[in-house]
Structure 1
Amino acid sequence: MEALQIGRAKLTWLNGGVNFLDGGAMFGVVPKALWSKKYPNNDKNQIELRTDPILLQVDGKSYLIDSGMGNGKLSEKQMRNFGVLEESSIDQSLAELGLKTRDIDAMLMTHLHFDHACGLTKPSGNSYESVFENATIYTSDVEWNEMRNPNIRSINTYWKENWQPIEDQVTPFEHEIQIADGLKMIHTGGHSDGHCIIVFEDGDETFIHMADIMPTHGHQNKLWALAYDDYPVTSVHQKEKWMNFGYSKQAWYTFYHDAYYRAIKFDHEGKKIDEVERERYDYK
């Protein structure tokens, strides 16, 4: 597992699963001639995407950024349509670090689409139960409201089995919330109406987790938004704001979906000055 120390914070990427989605959908109106230079695609025009939670350890507390693809949650049709080749193995990843799911103090949920929230619950008999039984689950109140009351579009990604078993653990917030000293979740909207990013500052050290506003290194261009975005103009404006902020701090940008990089550090002009590559292997 790849790890990165940023000030007081240690980040470790867990194995949350992998799927392959259409590259055109992931890059929206951007022509393939442009985006394919930034991120590889296969002969079906699909791109490889991870769904890997980040274990964030700060001041003796253990947090997870998003929850992975989960296990036993998807039908055969969903597995095929979403291009899922591997489900989560969070238990095993945590065990390698001497931890269990009950040791997680809080879940920092950037949003609650199925590929980020399926790992919150697991099948139990004829129902579902919480995976991270002792964790407080943070998400924006806008996201939490839509999760429970999806519209005609979002009903396909906000599922009852991902929220009903954990509703007593959820702490929604309005604009931003401080999780620990220097660690904040901030509501941005854009990808979903309730989408959030995570910002950590410790002296001169900073990381920004842009979640699905910049899901991979290939999405660095401030104007490149996903076809999946509910509010793409908001995504563009929020990306511009937080890329400018991050460049000024020479911040690390961390990724949940990127199959090639775990994190990249940019200079004041947006040029890469450091990186953490993901160890890759072939899927059969």
Structure 2
Amino acid sequence: MEKLQVGRATITWLNGGVNFLDGGAMFGVVPKALWSKKYPVNENNTIELRTDPLLIQIDDKNILVDSGIGNDKLTDKQLRNFGVLEQSSVIQSLEALNITPNDIDLILMTHLHFDHACGLTEKTSDSFESIFKNAIIYTSEVEWNEMRNPNIRSVNTYWEMNWKPIVNQVKTFTDELEIIPGLRMIHTGGHSDGHSILVFEDEGNCFIHMADLMPTLGHQNKLWALAYDDYPVTSVHEKQRWMDFGYKNNAWYTFYHDAYHRAVKFDEKGEIQEIIKRKRYSYN
């Protein structure tokens, strides 16, 4: 598992699963001739994407960022349509670090789409239950409200089995919340109405988790928004704001979806300064 130290924060990437989605959908109106130079695409026009939670350890707290695609939650049709090649092994990743699900103190949900939230709960004999029973789960108030009352579009990604078992663990915020000193959760909207990012600052060290505003390094361009975005213009403006902030503050940018890179640091001109690549494995 890849790790990154940023100030007093240790970040470890867990194995949350892998799927393949339509490259055109992931890059919206951007022509394939342009985006295919930035991110690999196969003969089916699909691109490989991870759903790997970040474990952030700060001040003796175990903090999970999103939860992976889960296990045994998707139908055969969904597995096929979403191109799921591998489901989650988050618990096994934690075990390798001598951490149990009960040791997770906080879960920061950037948003609650199925590929981020399915790992919060698991099947029982006749229902679903929370996996991380001792954790406080943070998400924006807007996101939590839509999760429980999806509209005609979002009903396809906000699922009852992912929220009902955790209802007593969830705490919400409106605009911004300092989770622990230096680590902020900030509501941006864009990808979803309630989408949030994370910003950590500690004595000149900084990382920004842009979540699905910049799901891969291939999405660095401030104008490149996803067809999946509910509010793409908001995505563009928020990406511009936080890319400018990160460039000026020599920040690391961390990824949940990128199948090739874990984190990248840019200079003030947006040129790559440092990069952490993901170890590549063969799938059976």
TM-score tier by shorter-chain length is over 0.9
Counterparts of 1:144 and 1:59 in 2: how far apart (Å)? Answer: 27
Give runs of aligned pairs for residues 1-150 of structure 1, distance below 5 A: 1-150=1-150
Task: Give the corresponding residue for 2:267.
Answer: 267
Moved over 2 A (4+): none
Per the TM alignment, residue 35 of structure 1 is displaced from its structure 2 partner at its CA by: 0.1
Gaps of 5+ in 1: none
Counterpart of 2:173 in structure 1 is 173
Q: Secondary structure at the match of 1:16?
A: coil
Q: How much does 1:283 deviate?
A: 1.9
Letter in 2 for 1:101: P
Give the SS at the match of 2:233: helix
Structure 2: runs of 5+ lacking an equivalent? none
Task: Give the aligned partner of residue 201 of structure 1.
Answer: 201
What's the TM-score once normalised by structure 2's chain length? 1.00
The DSSP-based 3-state class of the residue aligned with 1:221 is: coil
Deviation at 1:282? 2.0
Partner of 2:255: 255
What residue identity is the alignment partner of 1:15?
N
Q: Which amino acid aligns with 1:108?
A: L
Q: What CA deviation, in whole Å up to 9, does each residue of 1:124-169 have, x standing for no partner?
A: 1110000100000000000000000000000000000000000000
Q: How many angstroms apart in 2 are the aligned matches of 1:42 and 1:131?
A: 35
Aligned residue type for 2:212:
D
Q: Identical aligned pairs, as a percentage?
A: 70
Per-residue deviation at 1:273? 0.5
In 1, Cα distance between the equivalents of 2:151 and 2:91? 33
CA deviation map 1:47-90 (0-9, x unaligned): 00000000000000000000000111000000000000100001
Partner Cα separation in structure 1 for residue 269 and residue 131 of structure 2: 42
- The residue matched to 2:221 in structure 1 has which SS? coil
What's 1:237 paired with? 237
CA distance in structure 2 between the partners assigned to 1:282 and 1:153 by the alignment: 35
State the alpha-carbon separation in 2 of the partners of residues 273 and 98 from structure 1.
33
How far apart, CA to CA, are the structure 1 residues paired with 2:283 and 2:81?
17
Two-structure CA RMSD over aligned residues (Å):
0.4
Report how many aligned residue pairs link the two structures. Answer: 284
1:79-112 superposed Cα distances (whole Å, 9 cap, x missing partner)? 0000001000011100100100100001000000
One-letter code of the match for 1:102?
N
Give deviations 1:221-252, integer Å, cap 9, x for gaps: 00000000000000000000000000000100
